[in-house]
Amino acid sequence: MSQNGDVLTVFVSGELDHHNARRLREATDAMIQQKHPSKLKLNFSGVTFMDSSGIGFIMGRYRMMELYGGSVRVVAVPAALQKVMELSGLGCLNVIERSSDENESIS
């Protein structure tokens, strides 16, 4: 995790399943409560697998940031996960940032 001004960036990597999502959620929530960012950026460039727990992770942070008056952006989403996110309804929330370069380093 890193913070640049009022933007907190969380770098997600590996498999985002039930066990990993819980740990990531707890760490992310603690940082949000401590730092009070106005924007949460979830960088998915290192994610190799995601199940419904990953969707739940994003939705939960979306609701939390709304309560704080902030916003969420999901960036650097691998092509294999982008369709899953869109079909899950995240596309309707307008939180997925499309990039022409999937390997782009976003901070």
- 33-87 residue pLDDT tens: 999 999 999 999 999 999 999 999 999 999 999 999 999 999 999 998 998 898 8
DSSP conformation class of 76? S
Q: Answer for the pair 70, 41: CB distance below 8 angstroms, yes or no.
A: no
CA dihedral (42, 85, 58, 70) positive or negative: positive
List the chain domain ranges.
2-101
**Token output for 10:** 């969380």
107: nearest Cα among 29, 12, 41, 55: 41
CATH hierarchy code of domain 2-101: 3.30.750.24
47: nearest Cα among 36, 59, 55, 37: 55
Q: What is the pLDDT of residue 30?
A: 97
Q: What is the pLDDT of residue 91?
A: 85
State the pTM of this model.
0.87
